[in-house]
Amino acid sequence: MADAEVLLSLRKIVKGFGSQKVLSEFSLDIFDGEFFTILGPSGCGKTTVLRLIAGFEQADSGQILLDDADIAAVAAEHRPVNTVFQSYALFPHMSVAENVGFGLRMAAVTKAEIKQRVAEALAVVKLSGFESRKPHQLSGGQKQRVAIARAIVMKPKVLLLDESLSALDHKLRQQMQMELKQIQRKLGITFVYVTHDQEEALSMSDRVLVMNHGQPQQIGSPREIYEAPRNMFVADFIGEINVFDGVVEAENDELSYTVNIGGVKKVAGAEFRLEVGDEVHVLLRPEDLRIEYIEDQPKDEQGFLGKVLERSYTGKTIDTLIALENGNTLRASEFFNEDDPDFDYSINQRVWVSWIDGWEHVIKAGPL
Ligand code: ATP
């Protein structure tokens, strides 16, 4: 989104509840037309950010700009922003069409236009034909679609979605993730989605903000966040990670270093300059680790000795828990291939573990 324009800008927002400070000088730019996700653990302040954008909360200080105009004084109902809540918040006594058309009726739109826009919105969420049903006659997934239709029918500039899929079962959630992405692309509305589910964040978003304790930790594409986490919090929060503690022993080339990990020397690339003697974490995702039988270990490569603690079959992959001789426990994940004899490791079998140079990601140890 190199040439994207900023639509929504939060500048140095401070927000507390009583003596508890939730956001302190929180700043964020969201681009026009992007699917933006705020990801973080429970209580980190995600919903507060969303409620400030919606106008349900007022900041103690700071600015919220939409199209460069400060919207602090604009009441929630007059902001070009709609929210889809986790609870759907449908009116139980109204039909699907009445629920979806509610906001338009409040805005005194003509009956004919309401009818047309409701039909369009229901078509987008694949609920054409459901106009006269009542909420209690719908499944959870269908209720969620009505809630989305009710928001998009208003043609907001920004659609806020608060944990909107979390009430759905796993399969339906995955299906709705794809559909939400399609709806967003089709309508070109800026979506700001809040979740604590990393898989959801990675699969739907153009960009993700990872937050902790009210502080932005990293902002980037799903790939950047997963493959190049900036700190241990992001690395750990976004899926499984193996951590090797090491010390930079030599600089080989520009941004290429020899890292000594408890006597095992690995060549690792870094995205920033390191000094000899720096303590680092070398991070490897489970799918980036290689396991070999001890007798098959490559002679010209350095690696780690360990033994298999546990094996589990997930359908797509075989996951192996390995106890290294240095005390570290690793998780490796390999695509399942039943014809490959390497998939026969037994519990307690001794194995050799390593990775292909360049597949690691290095961050500095210690506080940021
Ligand atoms: P979750 O994923 O559990 O919804 P969250 O990251 O969305 O969490 P927030 O709902 O933004 O977190 O809450 C951040 C902090 O602010 C929490 O400690 C919460 O208890 C507190 N908080 C939020 N709203 C209020 C309120 N209206 N009054 C008092 N405290 C509040």
Q: 60 C-alpha vs ligand 1 centroid, how far in Å?
A: 15
Q: What is the pLDDT of residue 129?
A: 94
Length, in residues, of the chain = 368
Ligand 1 lining (C-beta closer than 6 Å): 17, 22, 40, 42-48, 196
* Dist CA 45 CA 210 (whole Å): 11
Residue 153 has pLDDT above 80, yes or no: yes
Retrieve residue 133's tokens: 């049903």
Q: Confirm if 8 and 31 have CB atoms less than 8 A apart.
A: no
Using the predicted structure, report yes or no on whether residue 165 has a pLDDT greater than 90.
Answer: no
Of all atoms in ligand 1, which is nearest to the CA of residue 50? 11
CA of 43 to the centre of ligand 1 (A): 5
Mutate to test the pocket of ligand 1, among 23, 24, 38, 47 (most ligand atoms within 8 A of CB): 47
Say how many Å lie between the CA of residue 211 and the centre of ligand 1.
Answer: 13
For atom 7 of ligand 1, the residue with the nearest CA is 47
What is the residue with the minimal CA distance to atom 29 of ligand 1? 17
Given a cut of 60, whether residue 2 has pLDDT beyond it is no
Residue 359 CA to residue 227 CA, distance in Å, equals: 9
For a substitution probing ligand 1, which of 23, 24, 46 has the most ligand atoms within 8 Å of its CB? 46
Q: What stretch(es) of the chain map to CATH 2.40.50.140?
A: 242-364
CA-211 nearest atom, ligand 1: 6
Model confidence pLDDT, tens digit, residues 240-266 = 999 999 999 999 988 899 999 999 999
For residue 128, what are the CA distances in angstroms to 75, 97, 119, 124, 149?
A: 33, 10, 7, 9, 11
Nearest C-alpha to atom 23 of ligand 1 is from which residue?
A: 48
The domain 242-364 is placed in CATH, from the list 1.10.1670.10, 3.40.1280.10, 3.40.50.10490, 2.40.50.140, at 2.40.50.140
Residue 281, pLDDT > 70, answer yes
Mean pLDDT of 23-38: 96
CATH fold of the domain at 6-236: Rossmann fold (3.40.50)
Chain centroid, CA 327 distance in Å:
31
Tell how far the Cα of 14 is from the centroid of ligand 1, in angstroms. 14
* For the CA of 194, the nearest atom of ligand 1: 7
Q: Is the pLDDT of residue 343 over 80?
A: no
Between 168 and 48, where is the model more confident? 48
Q: Give the helix/strand (H/E) hosting 343.
A: none
What's the rounded Cα separation, in Å, for the pair 308 and 155? 55
For 125-148, the pLDDT digits (tens) are 889 999 999 999 999 889 989 999
pLDDT in tens, 192-205: 999 999 999 999 99
pLDDT at position 342 over 70 = no
Q: Which pLDDT belongs to residue 289?
A: 94
Tell how far the Cα of 194 is from the centroid of ligand 1, in angstroms.
13
Q: Looking at residue 207, what is its pLDDT?
A: 98
Report the greatest alpha carbon distance in the chain. 78
Mean pLDDT, residues 187-214: 95
Q: Answer for the pair 123, 146: CB distance below 8 angstroms, yes or no.
A: no
Q: Is the pLDDT confidence value at 167 over 80?
A: no
CA of 40 to the centre of ligand 1 (A): 12
Report the run of H or E that residue 120 belongs to, with start and end. helix 111-124
**Residue-wise pLDDT tens digits, 295-341:** 888 888 889 999 999 999 888 888 999 999 888 999 999 887 777 65
- pLDDT at 368 > cutoff 60: no
CATH 3.40.50.300 domain position(s) in the chain = 6-236
Secondary structure letter of residue 4 according to DSSP: P
Angstrom distance (rounded) from CA 99 to CA 92? 9
What is the overall mean pLDDT for the chain? Answer: 91
Ligand 1: centre distance to CA 214 (Å): 10
Residue 171 has pLDDT above 70, yes or no: yes
Cα distance between the two ends of the chain: 28
- Residue with CA at minimum distance from ligand 1 atom 25: 17
Q: How much is the average pLDDT of 273-290? A: 94
**pLDDT for position 324:** 94
Task: Mention every residue, 6+ apart, whose C-beta is less than 8 A from residue 352.
Answer: 291, 292, 293, 294, 296, 297, 303, 304, 305
Query: What pTM does this model have?
Result: 0.91
